[in-house]
Structure 1
Amino acid sequence: MKTILLSVDKSVDNLMDNPQVEKAASLLAENEVVAIPTETVYGLGGNAENDDAVQKIFSAKGRPSDNPLIIHIADKSQLNGFVEEIPEKASILMDKFWPGPLTIIFKKKPGVLSEKATAGLDTIAVRMPDHPVALAILKKCGLPIAAPSANSSGKPSPTTAKHVKDDLEGKIAGIIDGGPTGVGVESTVVDCTEQVPVILRPGGVTKEQLEKVIGEVVTDPALLNEAEKPKAPGMKYKHYAPDAPMYLVKGSQKFLQELVDEKRKKGLRVGVLTTEERQEDYQADIVLACGKRESLPTVASALYDTLRSFNDEHMDIIFSEVFPVEGVGQAIMNRLLKAAGNKIISE
């Protein structure tokens, strides 16, 4: 398959009339799959009403079929077509955070969207992306679009069109280059079918932000304890992993350096993931700075690009610092734990 590469400047006016946007919308209407920029990561979009389109998403990514997809919409009125009800707390969250990096779980209307998109569950995950190109494409095609991250399953999510091209060129119909994404980690997923909303995946909207507008929000215990069964099917899978084995290190910089030295003495190429403040403090084959420790949103924004950069250096092993779990730090640590397969070394 030839993958069409299209570039759209998100800052221009009248995006709805942009020929590249029109082409992307046309491909989606023809039940092809297209990589689309959002404010979180690039998504691999397909018509959520069509089984063939949804299957193309799973096939291109190599994604397990029991891992449901998030449905992307451009207007809240679209919800009426495929959700049973909109709980009051969900409505409040939509008013506050849509468009934006928040996915809400609803009870679905049966027989409307592809069962493959929801993996046969009686619920559906929906969000409205905060990216002008994505919104223009969604409005132009007028369809609910299923869109997981546009990467090979298990690998770091894509935050640039190049990342998508590296993983999926030749496997999908098109890639829309709308520039680098901003948030850098996926949306927060909140289940609003319960009396007390439950965070199933931390992301761009923090627990603290949610609780400011709707009161108590709980976190799925599986996010805090790997022995627990996750409520969201996709969270049981390894994600975001670089090619080399990765370990999170809880301890001092001296302790991490000792681990590096030990592996290098054995002839291994060793990488270290740290931040700008500490990049010069380590001696390793490659030391990559992932944002600034004093500004965790910059760490989130740079995380996936940094993980992918280790692949270019052909590392044998990677050691990563850990981060506070306040605010967006919870999402950062969730992604790092997944990338490392929950492998942690403590001092």
Structure 2
Amino acid sequence: MSFPLKQPKTRQTACGGDLLAQSLAHLGATTAFGLHGGHLDPFLVAAVEADIKLIDVRHETVAVQAAEGWAKVKGNNVPGVCFFTANSGFANAYPGLCTAFADRSPVFCVTSSAPPRDDHTNALQGFHDQVTLSKPVTKFCYQITEVSEIPRIVNLAWRATTSGAPGPVLVDIPIDVLSTPVESISCGGLLSGLSLNPAPHPEAIEKALGLWKNAKRPVIIVSTGAASAVENVTKLAEATNTPIFHSPKYSTSIKRSHSLFGGSATQLAVLRYLGGQVPDFVLLLGARTGFLMGGRSGGIIPNEGEASVVQVDLDGGEIGRSRTIDV
């Protein structure tokens, strides 16, 4: 599916900034957090005309964190959007990128840079290779050097934020590309996605159901990986009368007044030390194991032999990372 570029109302000619802003708006962006910088002017002017609300912050890391928080509160697999200027702005935003990557937060980061023709000339705010620096802490990062490529790359980056394990992406568009005049352009496939979501093997489902049916004290633990499935998880819990807990770093949008809402999974550790019976079945939905989930202590997730554990995660590399998993 393609969309036509709208000509600006206040300027005679559209530019790369319009392509970027309209692409983001077409994909669902309504709000962007950031700190102004001259390299970003073509995008910021165009964003206002594309009805993207710009929210000013006082530090670039805060811009990333605000976008991260917005995405978590908004849910529905919609990434938060932030922007920061070249070099110094990028450097300030970097800690935010690192934490967003560690927390698997879907954040779309827009930055700019000096014209590539000015590489190695001590150009204004042109000292760092922002893409190279971003690769270890993003799911996707790319510098767009051809204005016609903006819709395609923006689409790829947008999809990358929420496909599989969520995470931040960074798109760097040099100021000369953002300023390049564009008369008319369209790009196919902006909204294309998977026709069917990836699914587990039927045998794994049967085995998990068998373990669940035999359990007397089952629990569900959810985290960010299940953020867009709150309604389905709630229905699952209601159908099976299974309490829902959330990982310590994630507060699910399941109503706290719900009879099956158990609060933080740390409550399970308290249960053990109060002498209560620990769960004999744990369903992990998008919840990574590790330090915040009790590590290998058995405090939150009971030790092997005490409970059956079924782990569902978008990232296969997370399954069984910290302990033996039954399914």
Which structure would you say has the larger Rg? 2
TM-score of the pair, normalised by structure 2: 0.30
Higher helix share: 2
Higher relative contact order (CA 8 A, sep 6+): 1
TM-score of the pair, normalised by structure 1: 0.28
